[in-house]
Amino acid sequence: MEQTIPSFDEAIYPAYKVVALVDALAEDGIGPAQALDGSGIAEDRLHDPATRLSFRQMQVVYRNAMRMAKSPDIALRAGQRMHMSACGMYGYALLSSATPMEACHFAIRYHQITGPVTSISFDIGDDAAVWRIEPLFTVDVQDEMYRFSMEFQFSMNHTLLKDYFGAGFRLRELRGAYPMPAHVAIYKKVFGVPVRFGQAYNEVIHDVSWLEHQPAYSNKITHAMVREVCEQALQSMKNPLGLAGKVHQRLLSQPGRFANSDAMANEFGLSDRTLRRRLEAEHTSFQQILLDVRRHLAIRYLRETPMSNEEIADRLGYSDAANFRHAFKRWTGKQPSLYRQASSVD
């Protein structure tokens, strides 16, 4: 699955998921002001349908929730709040779809308008339907943010599927790419199915027979109306990327031949000094973005390819494998070989 890099600082995403987290934290006695601390999100605007958030703001709230939550199931509980009615027009479009397959295709195309916390794909096997999910906040399966993001999305997917198919809906299996968490017993209560960890992918799996289900709320007129609204929302999100996001995208597309800051500035018709100044205004720098891209690609290569340390070092622009190993140890606290072993443990 190819991951997209969301806009970092443009406030273009609805607040649905942040609202769910804030409300779940309130159950633990943590007020909205604490949950939103440092995000720049005004408490009195959180439930305003016109409010839009940036990717970075959502990251802050997720990290606040990880740090402040009094119970380990906070992300799972937040996902259980993501009913169809909590997802705006996206939810009503799913509910009014003519067939389950139409709803599945709609979910994949318009998933971004609920907030870019993960990327999602859908596939059908002989007897199973598989939703494959990858977090966007981090690709490091050892990072607690990875697990937290997946728990939210697993729970949200489960909630939406039950809303669509009815109370009798059952999953077949859940697979997580991250290590087994200490609170694994809670998964059984939430999902009611076997959960396997340390897998190659994050997957929500259910019987393909559910796709023959007759939708209870199908309505062609309603679906056409809300789909048009969702299309407008999606198009409005596709273009605005801050300069940091554009530099990130550009570097991510050229492994093995990363441009330096001067060459990157030229690509955008800027002087090197202007590039630095504008990135500083977005609270980052060219070197920080390059480091993020190297870390992202290194983890992906170790998880998804048999490439050697020497090959990865060359692809990431390091002079030798030793320099790459030192850098990777700083990023993750592990040597590349140990990280690869940990990530492949079932």
Distance from the Cα of residue 312 to its chain's centroid: 25
Structure tokens at 189: 């209560």
Q: Is the dihedral of CA 202, 204, 207, 212 positive or negative?
A: negative
Report yes or no: 135 and 178 within 8 Å, Cβ to Cβ.
no
Confidence of residue 344 (pLDDT cuts 50, 70, 90): low
Distance CA(314)–CA(312), nearest Å, equals: 5
pLDDT per residue over 212-252, tens digit each? 999 989 999 999 999 999 998 887 776 555 787 788 878 88
Q: Domain segments of the chain: what residues?
A: 72-238, 243-344
Q: Which residues contact 106 (CB under 8 A, 6 or more apart)?
A: 93, 94, 97, 227, 230
Residue listed under structure tokens 């977005």:
282
CA dihedral 122, 342, 256, 289 (to 10 degrees): 80
With 90 as the cut, is the pLDDT of residue 84 above it?
A: yes
Nearest to 116 by CA among 233, 290, 287, 278: 233
pLDDT at 2: 42
CA dihedral 241, 244, 246, 252 (to 10 degrees): -130
CA distances from 4 to 86, 95, 135, 156 (A): 24, 26, 10, 20
Among 34-43, 180-189, 230-239, 283-292, the range scoring the smallest mean pLDDT is: 230-239
Q: What are phi and psi of 134, to 5 degrees?
A: -135, 130
Q: Is 93 helix (H, G, I), strand (E, B) or coil?
A: helix
Instruction: Confirm or reject CATH 1.10.10.10 for domain 243-344, answering yes or no.
Output: no
Distance CA(81)–CA(88), nearest Å, equals: 13
Q: 10 Å Cβ neighbour count for 225?
A: 14
pLDDT per residue over 256-315, tens digit each? 788 899 999 999 999 999 999 988 877 778 998 888 888 888 888 888 888 999 999 999
- Which of the two residues, 10 and 189, has the higher pLDDT score? 189
pLDDT per residue over 129-145, tens digit each? 999 999 988 888 989 99
Distance CA(150)–CA(152), nearest Å, equals: 5
Q: 10 Å Cβ neighbour count for 125?
A: 9
Q: What are phi and psi of 255, to 5 degrees?
A: -60, 140
**What is the percentage of the chain residues whose pLDDT exceeds 70?**
95
Report yes or no: 153 and 146 within 8 Å, Cβ to Cβ.
no
Confidence of residue 85 (pLDDT cuts 50, 70, 90): very high
pLDDT at 203: 96
Report yes or no: 195 and 183 within 8 Å, Cβ to Cβ.
no
Confidence of residue 23 (pLDDT cuts 50, 70, 90): very high
Query: Structure pTM?
Result: 0.78
Distance CA(309)–CA(319), nearest Å, equals: 12
Nearest to 213 by CA among 109, 102, 91, 87: 102
pLDDT per residue over 86-134, tens digit each? 999 999 999 999 999 999 999 998 998 888 788 899 999 889 999 999 9
- Which of the two residues, 320 and 345, has the higher pLDDT score? 320
With 70 as the cut, is the pLDDT of residue 319 above it?
A: yes
Nearest to 130 by CA among 52, 208, 66, 213: 208
